Chain A
Amino acid sequence: QKEVEQNSGPLSVPEGAIASLNCTYSDRGSQSFFWYRQYSGKSPELIMFIYSNGDKEDGRFTAQLNKASQYVSLLIRDSQPSDSATYLCAVKISGGYQKVTFGTGTKLQVIP
């Protein structure tokens, strides 16, 4: 089982809709969870992070964390074509040097 799993997509949503991106992780001791956006040919940029169960909102983005079920999701409201990118879930697992493990990413396509 991979440490961090994401559906590779592509996930296609119409402009203005809500995009829902999901991520599951295997290490129950994981502490911190991050969502990054990566445009083609560019390096990842941090969207938001979450540490506690529940929802965390930042503008059009909402991260949701459920540690009991070991999943974290990212909701993008009012999706725009500029949101089209690959979204990477990252999890800081427990252990010695606090290693961060990335999922393979979900490609999102927002259709105008």
Chain B
Amino acid sequence: GAVVSQHPSRVICKSGTSVKIECRSLDFQATTMFWYRQFPKQSLMLMATSNEGSKATYEQGVEKDKFLINHASLTLSTLTVTSAHPEDSSFYICSARVGGGGTGNTIYFGEGSWLTVV
């Protein structure tokens, strides 16, 4: 399958600081990437849809000024958690869609990034 790489895999930051997570599609171009958050023993929660060259589409309840998403190229999307607080500690996962958007495409996930805010 397609390869999606996420970095860093684990990050610890101090409360009030910002942290950036990168998501790269390694062997394909991804016009659309997705960012999820998953708390322990809970399901994936879609945070936003990242579209190359345009503004991200955020899900209801997700603060766009706190979770900044930039999709500057066809292979890279970044999520910046600004002014992080302990309640932002979670597993953040990106995914990318392979294909043109019709029935013949699938979604592959990055390895995920564990964020701990202390």
If A43-B93, A43-B110, A43-B112 touch, whether A102 touches B103 (CB-CB below 8 Å) is no
Distance, CA A100 to CA B45, complexed state (A): 11
B79 CB to nearest chain A CB (Å): 14
Contact yes or no, B1 A46, CB < 8 A: yes
**Is B49 touching A97 in the complex (CB atoms < 8 A)?**
yes
**A18-46 vs B: 1/0 string, CB under 8 Å?**
00000000000001101010000111111
A98 to B101 Cα, complex, angstroms: 7
In the complex, number of A-B residue pairs with CB atoms less than 8 Å apart: 50
Q: What are the residues of chain A within 8 A of B101 when measuring CB–CB?
A: 98
- Bound Cα distance from A43 to B9, whole angstroms: 11
B11 beta carbon closer than 8 Å to chain A: no
**Docked CA distance A45–B46 (Å):** 16
A54 to chain B, nearest CB (A): 15
Contact B108 A46 (CB under 8 A): yes
Residues of chain A lying within 8 A (CB to CB) of residue B17: none
**Chain A positions 30 through 73: 1 when the CB is less than 8 Å from some CB of chain B, otherwise 0:** 01101010000111111001010000000000000000000000
B103 x A46 contact (CB < 8 A): no
Residues of A within 8 A of B57 (CB): 97
Q: Is the CB of B103 within 8 A of A32?
A: yes
A85-112 toward B: CB 8 Å interface, digit per residue (1/0)? 0001010100001111111110000000
The interface residues of chain A lying within 8 Å CB-to-CB of B112 are 42-43
Establish whether residues B106 and A49, one from each chain, have CB atoms under 8 Å apart when the complex forms: yes
How far is it, in angstroms, between the C-alpha of A49 and the C-alpha of B6 when the chains are bound?
Answer: 23
Contacts of B46 in A (CB 8 A): 99, 101-102
A92 cross-chain contacts in B, Cβ below 8 A: 103
Distance A13 CA – B92 CA, assembled complex (angstroms): 31
Q: How far is the CA of A92 from the CA of B49 in the complex (A)?
A: 14
B82 → chain A closest CB, angstroms: 23
In the assembly, what is the distance between CA of A92 and CA of B98, in Å? 13
Give B95-118 interface residues, CB cut-off 8 Å to A. 97, 101, 103-112
B44 on the A face (CB < 8 A) = yes
Tell me whether A34 and B110 are in contact in the complex, defined as CB-CB below 8 angstroms, given that A98-B101, A103-B43 are known contacts.
no
Residues of chain A having any CB pair with chain B under 8 Å: 31-32, 34, 36, 41-46, 49, 51, 88, 90, 92, 97-105
